[in-house]
């Protein structure tokens, strides 16, 4: 058995193509949507994410503003940067790239973002709107996952969904969004007893724990739909050869580069047992960027009265 590959790049292109006429309408009538991105310090992974976001903005015609304070920036200084974007009527969306340095009060910065400019959907006000199922910016990764499942016509209503991970960025909002789609949702975490048994009950399994290949065949029931949110870097050759024995191209790439990406689910088990699954890379990542753009355009339409 080999499941359907849920192609995040394809869904990304669909969403971005649907945004283009809306962006052009804003540009022709008033001004382009504008996204302000704050990147603190020099985190290589964050730099890649931000670079991809800025590149997508440029391709779509969304204006992007960048603030790149050094890692030594204080909470107060960073707060003032966020406030300057809050006060700028030309800015529609604000994104503060996480993680922030340990000395920064992340909660203070999170709540400093104007909820009406919260492109990430992380502000407590917008989280409250998610709980109440009221319109507001939604966390990009889980919103993208729901959009993908809908576009692949994978039913959620009445299905048993298991979310592994309870982060504020993915796990918690994912559980709420699945509830709003009428799934029966279980949330698992580090204190869950017999994780494998809980996962085997899933008809839809969302793995968002940040542990490479931690979900194995023991955790999966035949026909499950798997959404692998994990993005982990492997550098150990023995691990790569064991986990990608079925994938000569991935092995060749690893031998050339000395590293490869893997999700939270064993790729062989996922490919053999699931009825549908997201690859890593190329699955969830492109959805996150697409929904960030969608949030920014929607906020611009609200600000400009469209």
Taking the C-alpha atoms of residue 65 and residue 84, their distance in angstroms, rounded to an integer, is: 12
Contact between 237 and 254 under an 8 Å Cβ cutoff? The reply is: yes
CB atoms under 10 Å from CB of 104, counted, come to 20
Q: How far apart are CA 98 and CA 248, in angstroms?
A: 34
What is the β-pairing status of strands 204-207 and 225-228?
Answer: parallel
**In 10 A of CB 82, how many CB atoms?**
22
Strands across the sheet with 184-188, in order?
Answer: 4-5, 276-277, 225-228, 204-207, 160-164, 184-188
**Contact present, 229 and 284 (Cβ < 8 Å):** yes
Q: Which of 92, 118, 120, 266 is catalytic?
A: 120
**Catalytic residue flag (residue 228):** no
168 is catalytic: no
**Annotated catalytic residue 120:** yes
The arrangement of strands across the sheet holding 34-38 comes to 63-67, 34-38, 93-96
Give whole-number Cα distances, 244 to 8, 82, 213, 275, in Å.
21, 43, 11, 20
Residue whose pair of structure tokens reads 């603190």 in the numeric block: 40
- The residue assigned the tokens 């406030």 is 83
- Enter the tokens of residue 44: 């290589």
Query: CA 132 to CA 28: how far, in whole Å?
Result: 35
Spatial distance between the Cα atoms of 107 and 122, rounded to a whole number of angstroms: 10
Quick check: helix, strand or coil at residue 84? helix
What's the rounded Cα separation, in Å, for the pair 182 and 101? 38
Active site members = 53, 97, 120
């Amino acid at each position: 058995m080999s499941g359907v590959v849920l192609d995040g790049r394809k869904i990304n292109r669909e969403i971005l193509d649907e945004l283009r006429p809306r962006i052009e309408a804003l540009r022709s009538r008033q001004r382009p949507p504008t996204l302000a991105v704050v990147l603190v310090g020099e985190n290589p992974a964050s730099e890649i994410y931000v670079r991809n976001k800025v590149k997508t903005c440029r391709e779509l015609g969304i204006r992007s503003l960048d603030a790149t304070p050094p890692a030594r920036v204080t909470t107060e200084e960073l707060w003032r940067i966020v406030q300057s974007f809050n006060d700028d009527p030309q800015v529609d969306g604000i994104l503060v790239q996480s993680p922030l340095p340990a000395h920064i009060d992340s909660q203070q910065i999170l709540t400093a973002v104007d909820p009406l400019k919260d492109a990430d959907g992380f502000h407590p006000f917008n989280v409250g709107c998610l709980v109440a199922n009221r319109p507001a910016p939604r966390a990009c990764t889980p919103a993208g996952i729901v959009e993908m499942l809908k576009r692949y016509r994978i039913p959620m209503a009445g299905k048993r969904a298991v979310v592994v991970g309870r982060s504020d960025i993915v796990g918690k909002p994912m559980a709420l969004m699945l509830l709003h789609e009428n799934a029966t949702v279980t949330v698992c975490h580090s204190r869950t007893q017999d994780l494998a048994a809980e996962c085997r009950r899933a008809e839809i399994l969302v793995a968002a724990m940040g542990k490479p290949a931690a979900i194995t065949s023991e955790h999966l029931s035949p026909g499950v739909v798997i959404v692998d949110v994990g993005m982990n870097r492997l550098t150990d050759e023995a691990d790569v050869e064991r986990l990608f024995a079925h994938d000569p191209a991935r092995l060749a790439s690893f031998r050339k580069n000395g590293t490869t990406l893997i999700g939270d689910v064993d790729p062989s088990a996922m490919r053999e047992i699931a009825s549908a699954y997201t690859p890593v890379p190329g699955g969830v990542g492109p959805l996150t960027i697409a929904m960030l753009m969608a949030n920014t355009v929607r906020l611009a339409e609200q600000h400009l009265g469209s």
